Structure 1
Amino acid sequence: MQCSNCGFENSDKLKYCGECGAPLPVLCPNCSFVNPAQFKFCGQCGTRLTEPVSSHPGPGENVETRNRVAAKVPEAERRQLTVMFCDLVGSTALATKLDPEELREVVQQYQKACADTVNRFDGHIAQYLGDGVMVYFGYPVAHEDDARRAVRAGLEIVDATQKLNERLQRDFHESLAVRVGIHTGLVVIGEMGGGAKREQLALGTAPNIAARLQGFAEPNTVVISSATHHLVQGFFKQQSQGMRVLKGIVPPLEIFRVLNESGAHNRLEATMNAGLTPLVGKHKELQELVAAWQRVKSGERQAVLLNGEAGIGKSRLLHAFKQQLAHEPHLWLECHGSPYFQNSALHPLIEWLQRVLDFRREDACDVKTKKLENWLSHYQQPASETLPLFAGLLSVPLGDCYNPPKLNPHRLKQKTLEAWLAILMEMAQQQPVVLVVEDLHWADPSTLDMLNLLLQSTQTARLLALFTSRPEFMPPWGESPDVVQINLNRLTQDQVETMVAQVTGAKMLPAPVLRQIVTKTDGIPLFVEELTKMVLESGMLREDNNHFELNGALPPLAIPATLQDSLMARLDRLAPVKEVAQLAATLGREFSFELMSAVALVEETTLQQGLAQLVKAELLYENPHPNGHGATYVFKHALIQEAAYQTLLKSRRQYYHQRIAQTLVEKFYDTASDQPELLAHHYTEAGLIETAIAYWQWAGENAIQRSANIEAISHLTRGLDLLNTLPENAQRDQLELELLTYLGVATAATKGYTAPEIERIYHRARELCERVEYSPRQSSSMLGLWKGTLVRADFEKALALAQECMRLAQKKQNAELLLTGHLTLGVTLASWGELARAQEHLTKALELYQPSEHRTDAFEYGEDPGVVCLSYLAAALWMLGYPEQALQRSNDALALAEKLAHPFTLALALNFNGDLHYLRREQHMMLERAERLIALAEEQGFPFWRACGEIQKGSALFERGQHDEALALIDQAVAHLHAGGAQIGEAAGLAQRALAYGKMGRVEEGLQIIDEAIEMVKNGGERHIEAEQWRIKGELLLMQSDSGKFNGLLPAQQQQAEECFRRALTVAQQQRAKSWELRAAMSLSRLWQKQGKAAEATAFLSEIYHWFTEGFDTADLQEAKQLLGEFHLVES
């Protein structure tokens, strides 16, 4: 390896030149590309060239030293940042009045005031730009309240600048003014610059907007953007300044002037005016607090610690408890730990006293002393001893009336705490007291000493001490029996859904949106509320009466801006192992040590240590393997995983995803094979589009084979979305056709054959078929279009499509197309009443069908073609007069469907088998098949087949005499079919309903319905049912007698009925439908017998009866035989 600095030839294994010490270029171990020395990843293939910081130190440094250096210069990352820009007003004019040295001193004082304030709120001064200062809050370490810190810092900088003016006026007769602009937004932050001049800078619109905003501020004021306003609303008093156009920024922004702090200590207090979401899932804990209060009222001091993670609802529970006590005499005292004052002794007590005493900024010292005297006068403590203690605590100078206590600091603190405790006990003697101290995890040590003193005091005070803390807090009193700890749990799924409904005003969200909210929020009430609000404000939904609907495709829900800082703060506390967290987040919510170890370019022990830190910090749960072979890890919160992932730069993200995908393929093939959607996801995020599409298709096919059709739709749609990013060519067309084929199958299964999406899918597929030379998908695309027209009962169009399919098959001489052509023609002709031709085509289709060759057709076409052919052939055979052959074929179809174990095909077979039993008048068998069909359809999510099963069940129940229940069930099912656009079977259903009405005595309604059914068939409907329709109309006409008896009918009515029966016979004979002809003959023969034409009736019925060669045990032929016997008796 030649040194580019001195030309000396070095060994390839060296990192530094042996002649001059300069860093040597780095040879990539994967592709042999020569990279500059400072590269961490290969510029050619992306392989990592250096080990992570925690692996091995370089020459002349130890691990600790290098970690410190690395901590100072982190890699670039994405994060939410609150940017503050402060600018001096009139500095140019000031420069003309002051000596440059004096001006330098003034600017330095201003910058020091800014730096002191920023440091107090843990901000980061990014740049001094002349007399301007650019400050970041949320970098290099985030806090859960960075936006609030920025606004508080801005207000304090204004105050500090005004304090500087006292000296400036005295020394230079000049004064300063400052303008502050603050904005929150997403940035990429990292090292910028070159050579010796390098800075950690944020790139994005946020810094520009902050700088532009300060230009709209009046001197000595703070203005913020609407984005920051959304995060700090309720914590500050603000005034809208309207919409403003910022140079280079689109669209215009609403800006707000910050007046002062509102006094709110936490989010609950900040949102109080806007209204609180009702308490959910904490009623048991509330009752425990109420029980403690009852004991307090009886004179028994109680202490309770509410413990739970951020956002779990501790403050909300306290507020609900406070409302419970609203009508009871008590004194409620409240103070809070603060992240800003963790090292300020007794800050919660000081803040509480200032609030109780109504101290104001403008109060003079004597005014504050007087307020303190007035307050102490209510208690028995001697003011001469007590007032100096509290005055010292509150930094109020003592006048001549009081002597300062002559005590060492330790004893002074002790006496002050004892005085506070004595006053608290006096309060409890006057009335029951509730003392609330929130956020003990932020309390200073002296405050904890104060609470310890309280817990060691008398047990008989009427005092309830309520504390709140997060899980990391270790109480100084340990596991004291005097303190009851209540650990707050996460919400259940039902409780999350209840809370979502409260946020939406009881308006239902689309199921996929609700599902994402439940999954991502993990039962944390704050997360639930904020994510739901974000969804409602995002524009992705539109209101429709009592529910919301999606405006388009549902994207993955992002982390609300209100939660970004809180989540990022948790990650930043683990900076040394953040890279481990980022890689883990890229793997997913759950991952195995085995996989992570294979992907991570670190030693196993280093990785184990990093994961152990994440587990200890409660970012991950660890589930040890029962056999001791590694472990699996799960992110405690989905949003923590998302936050860690979102910090990665796009380039880094893609590298991780590609490495994960390659590792899965090479080392975890079983996982890759079982979960192709996992590979698809990683290849998608890696930007390897064509590979990702192939895996999304594989995932879709796998899901269809498991009857997971909703998942299949999701996978295949993802593939199609990616496909749209590729240039148009023949290969793209073929890929799209493959995806559409399977998408059509899954969509039909879940939404029915007539869903609008189905027609769009198969029309597009057909277009693509015409563009490719030949594709095996031509058959499935034509079949998909044909099914939609058939189920909509558009038989002319269905027949045209079937004929087109047959012509194409004959032209191509393709067996698959021939099978499809015969199947579609056979089914269409059967529905249209051309039964003999239907039988011919269906028989030919079955000859082409080979179960071993077509075993996967069900997954490609939606149903197995063999089962479809057998089912329709069975129906045709029954109508043609072969009831036993029909039953055999139908049972063969059912057996084949069960063997294939394809749920959608099984549903079809059960439906047709049930229909055949209905035709054979075997109600008990139809009911059994219907109930089995309904159960299967409910389990698998097949709405079309469920409705069909309910119609069959209703028909069976009607025959059992359960008329009202039966008709209600049928009406409900028909409504569902209509809603989905299905009309096939409607004419037959109407005929059944008309006959049912007649049997119930509602003859006129029955006649109206049967006329509607007949008209439907005339207009191109299901002609196979036409003969039965005319027969049923004739039967209804014979039911019109007022007395209910035949002799009550007028001759004209009898004549009309006979014409209907003759019409039924004519249609049946034209269709060669012997079973319909038999039924029509029985109806006409019965009429003739009642008219005294027994001989004619016998001869007529005998002829058709003796035509049959099978099925003599079926109900129709048994009834015909019985009628003939009755006619013979009448003749004799």
Structure 2
Amino acid sequence: MSDITAWLARLGLGKYIEAFTANEVDFDALRHLTEENLRELGLPVGPRRKVLAAIAALNTDTLSPPSSVSAPAPPRHEAERRQLTVMFIDLVGSTELSQRLDPEEMRDVFHAYQSAVSAEIARYEGYVAKFMGDGVLAYFGWPSAHEDDAERAVRAGLAAATATASLTPGSLDQPLAARIGIATGLVVVGDLIGEGSAQEQAVVGETPNLAARLQALAEPNAVVIAGGTHRLVIGLFELIELGLQELKGYATAVPAWRVIGEADTEGRFDASHGVSTPLVGRSKELDLLLQCWQQVRTGSGHAVVLSGEPGIGKSRLAAALEERLRAEPHARLRYFCSPYHTNSALYPVIEQLSRAAGLRLGDSTSAKLDKLEALVLQSAPDLSEAGPLLASLLSIDFANRYSPIQLTPQAQKARTLGVLIEQLERIAARQPVLLVVEDMHWIDQTTSEWLALLVERLPDLPVLLVVTFRPEVHPPWLKQSHVTAVSLASLGRDEGEAIIRRLTGGRSLPSEVTNHILAKTEGIPLFVEELTKTVLESDFLVDAGDHYQLSRATCSTDEDVNGGWYCEVF
């Protein structure tokens, strides 16, 4: 990896790394980029301004050659209090390596390791705060924040471990390994400390120390997370509980978990979208979906698009429909678009096929082909075309079973999309189909083409298509007569209070706490749930039987209630 990757990551522009590398933009070329060049690379106005300003600053630095240029620090921010996920990565055995290797060889090892892990951090839009020889400190949630920073950090940690394990510098006879610790908590971030080249943006709080301590617990190429991170990613990853750990500098033992890998796609999605919680305040929308389903049962397909802000309940409404149809004969197909795979062609389709076929990571090529054929034969009598096309789509080597595909890449793409639609048609010929496409705002281009073909065929198929996306998405097929658009609004106060009561088991919260929860969450049901859970897990409330009350240690005056204690949570 070139230094351009870390440079973009430090600017908060990690999503554009692929565009720069695909066009062979290195530091020498970077200095000569124009606004028109950046437009051709696909950068919108804001990122173009940011890159041009950074290039101008880079061009004034004549002291550092490109090979040693470090990414610029982000613009100075006022110190602020915010939740941050901190990742600390340490190279295993670096002291031993330094004794075995020449200093120049050791420098090459450090460079390869730092480049590999910073590329993965950038891929998930984290911020490399500091290189410390064999250590790398990274932040997720500052200077730019995402709703899923904890998940991004864990994904980046797993990817960094894999990337490090793939490195075997020429002077070594075994691959490198890294230990990774991740913690999430409140910090104060943004103060500048130090001078000159040693100047850095400081993070003050327990979280960085906890991440560093957890790193020391990790086995080589393993990721260990703290309780704050665990609460935010539970259900998204396979975890092993490590129990309470005695850590240096901590008066009490700290719980920790080792991350094994991603959870299965459906479970991961349901966990992150809160679909297991009761549905509140969406009876009209659910009735509309059920009416559309009755129409589908007569053989006339329909599409319903559910749009709304993050957390508004789009996925929960789709899940409620699935629950109501559970007793009816039908086929259910679910496709999940992902913010981490917007450039991966047909990613939601590939994931769905893999789940449906029961493919496992350890399966042999032959076993994978057997499973795929068993799936295809359920709806197609002939494997001669569908077999090799779908095997190719799933990256399964089929050379020993099928003839080579004699098509151009464009023709193969078109026939693959055709085969996918034909598969759906055959399934629908046997029973009605509920097909749900989640998070279309993250759809890749090829899946979007497949979806457009499906919408075109819908009127002749007993298929109810439900698509969820955020308000900024405007599919070209939205105004077709067999498509119904539903925009989900925020919940009212009564509905918000109903969510709170369900989470408290019917026990009332102090009125000021309820008011703050509802004011901060602005009628977004997922946010109401999450903030209520945070309050209930805090030390600010005491269970008083049929209600909760503020703890005496928390506040003793109205001024404390209205201006002090809740800032820790809210």
TM-score bracket for this pair, using the shorter chain length:
0.7 to 0.9
Cα 1:270/1:404, change in 2 over 3 Å: same
- Separation of aligned partners in 2, 1:289 and 1:478: 17
Aligned-partner SS, 2:218: coil
- Match in the other structure for 2:83: 80
Give the deviation of 1:477 after TM superposition: 1.7
- Separation of aligned partners in 2, 1:97 and 1:62: 43
- Match in the other structure for 2:386: 386
**Higher RCO (CA < 8 A, seq sep 6+):** 2
Give the deviation of 1:363 after TM superposition: 2.5
Aligned-partner SS, 1:383: coil
Give the deviation of 1:159 after TM superposition: 2.4
Q: Work out whether 1:239 is the aligned partner of 2:240.
A: yes
- What code does the residue aligned with 1:109 have? A
- What code does the residue aligned with 1:433 have? V
- What code does the residue aligned with 1:389 have? L
- Match in the other structure for 1:259: 260
Q: Work out whether 1:155 is the aligned partner of 2:127.
A: no
Consecutive unaligned residues of structure 2, counting only runs of 5 or more, are: 1-48, 58-71, 565-570
1:286-315 Cα offsets, whole Å, 9 max, x none, are 111111111111111011101111111111
Give the deviation of 1:410 after TM superposition: 2.6
Query: Where is the strand percentage greater, Structure 1 or Structure 2?
Result: 2
Aligned-partner SS, 1:474: coil
- Match in the other structure for 2:131: 128
Cα 1:304/1:126, change in 2 over 3 Å: same
Cα 1:484/1:528, change in 2 over 3 Å: same
- Separation of aligned partners in 1, 2:497 and 2:431: 41
Aligned equivalent of 1:93, options 83, 92, 96:
96
1:558-594 Cα offsets, whole Å, 9 max, x none, are xxxxxxxxxxxxxxxxxxxxxxxxxxxxxxxxxxxxx
- Match in the other structure for 2:142: 139
- What code does the residue aligned with 1:129 have? M
- Separation of aligned partners in 2, 1:715 and 1:136: 35
Contact 2:459 2:482 in 1 (8 A): no
Aligned-partner SS, 2:320: helix
Give the deviation of 1:510 after TM superposition: 2.2
Instruction: Name which one, 1 or 2, has greater alpha-carbon Rg.
Output: 1
Report matched runs for 1:396-475 at 5 Å: 396-475=396-475
Cα 1:716/1:245, change in 2 over 3 Å: closer
Cα 1:293/1:354, change in 2 over 3 Å: same
- Match in the other structure for 2:34: none
Cα 1:149/1:66, change in 2 over 3 Å: closer
Give the deviation of 1:224 after TM superposition: 0.7
Contact 1:127 1:133 in 2 (8 A): yes
Cα 1:190/1:84, change in 2 over 3 Å: same
Cα 1:515/1:179, change in 2 over 3 Å: same
Cα 1:520/1:76, change in 2 over 3 Å: closer
- Separation of aligned partners in 1, 2:134 and 2:156: 17
Cα 1:309/1:266, change in 2 over 3 Å: farther
Q: Work out whether 1:321 is the aligned partner of 2:321.
A: yes
Give the deviation of 1:67 after TM superposition: 11
- Match in the other structure for 2:68: none
- Match in the other structure for 2:299: 299
- Match in the other structure for 1:702: none
- What code does the residue aligned with 2:218 have? A
- Separation of aligned partners in 1, 2:428 and 2:50: 60
- Separation of aligned partners in 2, 1:77 and 1:413: 51
- Match in the other structure for 2:46: none
Cα 1:463/1:184, change in 2 over 3 Å: same
Contact 2:301 2:464 in 1 (8 A): yes
Give the deviation of 1:494 after TM superposition: 1.3
Give the deviation of 1:421 after TM superposition: 0.3
Cα 1:265/1:370, change in 2 over 3 Å: closer
Give the deviation of 1:173 after TM superposition: 2.8
- Match in the other structure for 1:217: 218
Cα 1:546/1:186, change in 2 over 3 Å: closer
Contact 2:235 2:267 in 1 (8 A): no
CA RMSD of aligned residues (A): 3.0
- What code does the residue aligned with 1:540 have? F
- Separation of aligned partners in 2, 1:481 and 1:86: 54
Give the deviation of 1:83 after TM superposition: 1.1
Aligned-partner SS, 1:185: strand
Aligned equivalent of 1:112, options 112, 115, 120:
115
- Separation of aligned partners in 2, 1:420 and 1:315: 24
Cα 1:438/1:62, change in 2 over 3 Å: closer
Contact 1:81 1:138 in 2 (8 A): yes
Cα 1:718/1:293, change in 2 over 3 Å: closer
- Match in the other structure for 1:489: 489
Q: Work out whether 1:179 is the aligned partner of 2:179.
A: yes
Contact 2:74 2:143 in 1 (8 A): no
Give the deviation of 1:251 after TM superposition: 4.8
- Match in the other structure for 1:775: none
Give the deviation of 1:541 after TM superposition: 2.1
- Match in the other structure for 1:230: 231
Cα 1:394/1:190, change in 2 over 3 Å: farther
- Separation of aligned partners in 2, 1:251 and 1:75: 34
Cα 1:151/1:284, change in 2 over 3 Å: same
- Separation of aligned partners in 1, 2:386 and 2:552: 68
- Match in the other structure for 2:530: 530
TM-score normalised by structure 1 residue count: 0.42
Q: How many matched pairs? A: 500
Aligned-partner SS, 1:472: coil
Aligned-partner SS, 1:341: coil
Contact 1:277 1:502 in 2 (8 A): no
- Separation of aligned partners in 2, 1:343 and 1:313: 26
- Separation of aligned partners in 2, 1:420 and 1:77: 53
Give the deviation of 1:452 after TM superposition: 0.5
- Separation of aligned partners in 1, 2:319 and 2:135: 44
TM-score normalised by structure 2 residue count: 0.81
- What code does the residue aligned with 1:472 have? E
1:832-867 Cα offsets, whole Å, 9 max, x none, are xxxxxxxxxxxxxxxxxxxxxxxxxxxxxxxxxxxx
Aligned-partner SS, 2:459: coil
- Separation of aligned partners in 1, 2:473 and 2:271: 24
Consecutive unaligned residues of structure 1, counting only runs of 5 or more, are: 1-60, 557-712, 722-1132
- Separation of aligned partners in 2, 1:71 and 1:716: 38
Cα 1:455/1:99, change in 2 over 3 Å: same
Give the deviation of 1:381 after TM superposition: 6.0
Cα 1:359/1:66, change in 2 over 3 Å: closer
Contact 2:432 2:462 in 1 (8 A): yes
- Separation of aligned partners in 2, 1:717 and 1:109: 52
- What code does the residue aligned with 2:117 have? C
Cα 1:520/1:303, change in 2 over 3 Å: same
Contact 1:310 1:470 in 2 (8 A): yes
- Separation of aligned partners in 2, 1:402 and 1:535: 59
Contact 2:500 2:529 in 1 (8 A): yes
- Separation of aligned partners in 1, 2:562 and 2:279: 39
Q: Which moved more, 1:218-227 or 1:191-200?
A: 191-200
1:52-80 Cα offsets, whole Å, 9 max, x none, are xxxxxxxxx99974998699423244232
Report matched runs for 1:354-753 at 5 Å: 354-380=354-380, 382-552=382-552
- Match in the other structure for 2:330: 330
Give the deviation of 1:216 after TM superposition: 1.3
- Match in the other structure for 1:1107: none
Cα 1:277/1:111, change in 2 over 3 Å: same
- Separation of aligned partners in 1, 2:97 and 2:199: 31
- What code does the residue aligned with 1:215 have? A
Contact 1:73 1:191 in 2 (8 A): no
- Separation of aligned partners in 1, 2:497 and 2:561: 27
Give the deviation of 1:716 after TM superposition: 12
Cα 1:174/1:468, change in 2 over 3 Å: same
Give the deviation of 1:436 after TM superposition: 0.6
- What code does the residue aligned with 2:248 have? K
1:760-812 Cα offsets, whole Å, 9 max, x none, are xxxxxxxxxxxxxxxxxxxxxxxxxxxxxxxxxxxxxxxxxxxxxxxxxxxxx
